[in-house]
Amino acid sequence: MDKETKTGIIDKFKHHKDDTGSTEVQVAMLTGRISELTSHLVAHKHDYQTQRGLLKLVGHRRRLLAYLNKQKVGRYRELIARLGLRK
The answer to whether 67 touches 23, Cβ cutoff 8 Å, is yes
Average pLDDT over residues 1-21: 91
pLDDT tens-digit readout, 31-82: 999 999 999 999 999 999 999 999 999 999 999 999 999 999 999 999 999 9
pLDDT, residue 86, reads 80
pLDDT at 44: 97
pLDDT band at 20 (very low <50, low <70, confident <90, very high): confident
Q: Which own/partner pairs from 55-61 qualify as long-range (CB within 8 Å, at least 24 positions apart)? A: 57/30, 57/33, 58/34, 60/30, 61/27, 61/30, 61/31, 61/34
Which CATH superfamily hosts domain 3-83?
S15/NS1, RNA-binding (1.10.287.10)
Whether the per-residue pLDDT at 87 is higher than 70: the answer is no
